[in-house]
Amino acid sequence: MIRLIVAAALALAAIDTAFAQTTLRVGDQKGNSQAVMEAAGVLKDVPYKIEWKEFAAAAPLLEALGAGAIDTGLVGDAPFTFAAAAKIPVKAIAAVRQSRDGLAVLVPENSAIKSFDDLRGKKIATGRGSIGHQLILAALESRGWQASDVQIVFLAPSDAKVAYTQGAVDAWSTWEPYVSQEEVLFKSRRVITADGITPGLGFQVATPDAIKNKRAELEDFVRRLAAARAWSQNNVEGYAATWGRLMNIPPAVPLNWLRRARIRIAPIDDSVVADEQKTIDLYDRWGLIRQKISAADIVDRSFGAAVEKGAGL
């Protein structure tokens, strides 16, 4: 019995040592995974090192993944689709589900534009290949419009904000927390949201190398992330206050966002694959990807148990 106990202790020590020698390089976007994991307290006993790297948007994060500069990161389905179609070596290991009301086309409070239909011939700022770009294409398609029926101005979020504020563009197709920030602080209006138009998926993605060589760390990370998001759904006001302090933004902004978002981490299942295929098909119809791909080929379902454990499913 003593030998068994000693053997078990040595085995656990070996696992801890292996973790301690490992660094998981995690790409994040402002106020996202790191913020909710810190607020939920799930990063206190991580048995390996997490090296956080913040990116302004998904496109540069995916470029870093492709270059091997990071192991994993959180991105929207639209930029992930572009990356996969461009043969960037990356796979989705978990999905992010949330309401679609926080992906929207905004106009200033005093704008004469009342609906997306009023944007014919107008300038809309968004990021190339972003979920904002995806929303514009889906909105155009739902109306039977052509790409030339609006003027899409491709800008990074910070530049889009400046152009929008200065009136250089008529509207801004963007995502949270930018949407809530504009609504709450500047009284912008949403003229269309992604609800009923696009899947609104996000993905935790990882490189094949990380999936092979850092599987234990990735499983542990997505479990903690799922637990953090589950915690945030039950502690919206407290998390909004913490998020506001971390980002130096009035708490009314995250409260507006988080109350309607209901963000959760979900395993890759048939419904996720089907929704991702819808995004792929949309981009294929618009001729934005050179080679059509299969959603089933760019996901990894093997992290499902870790996600479910973290989410308490």
User: What distance in Å separates the CA atoms of residue 262 and residue 176, rounded to the nearest whole number?
Assistant: 12
pLDDT of the residue at 313: 75
Q: Please report which confidence band the pLDDT of residue 20 belongs to, taking 50, 70 and 90 as the band edges.
A: low
User: Does residue 166 have a pLDDT over 90?
Assistant: yes
Half-sphere exposure of 155 (CA within 13 A, CB side): 20
Residue spans per domain, the chain: 2-97+200-311, 104-193
Q: How many CB atoms lie within 10 A of CB 240?
A: 23
- Calculate the alpha carbon distances from 69 to 61, 80, 120, 209, 225 in Å: 9, 17, 41, 12, 21
- Provide DSSP, 36-89: HHHHHTTTTT-SSEEEEEEESSHHHHHHHHHTTS-SEEEEEHHHHHHHHHTT-S
CATH number of 104-193: 3.40.190.10
pLDDT tens digit sequence for 59-93: 899 999 999 999 999 999 999 999 999 999 999 99
Indicate the helix (H) or strand (E) that contains 107. Answer: strand 104-107
- Region 157-171 average pLDDT: 97
Whole-angstrom Cα distance, residue 66 to residue 273? 22
- Structure-token pair, residue 99: 């309401």
Q: Contacts for 234-241 with beta carbons within 8 Å, 24 or more apart?
A: 235/40, 238/39, 239/36, 239/39, 239/40
Record: fold of 2-97+200-311: D-Maltodextrin-Binding Protein; domain 2 (3.40.190)
Q: DSSP state, 112? A: S
**Tens digit of each residue's pLDDT (9 = 90 or more) over 236-272:** 999 999 899 888 999 999 999 999 999 999 999 999 9
Do 2-97+200-311 and 104-193 share a fold? yes
Contact 106, 191 (CB under 8 A): yes
pLDDT digits (tens, 9 = 90+) for 90-103: 999 999 999 999 99
Instruction: Flag whether pLDDT at 19 surpasses 70.
Output: no
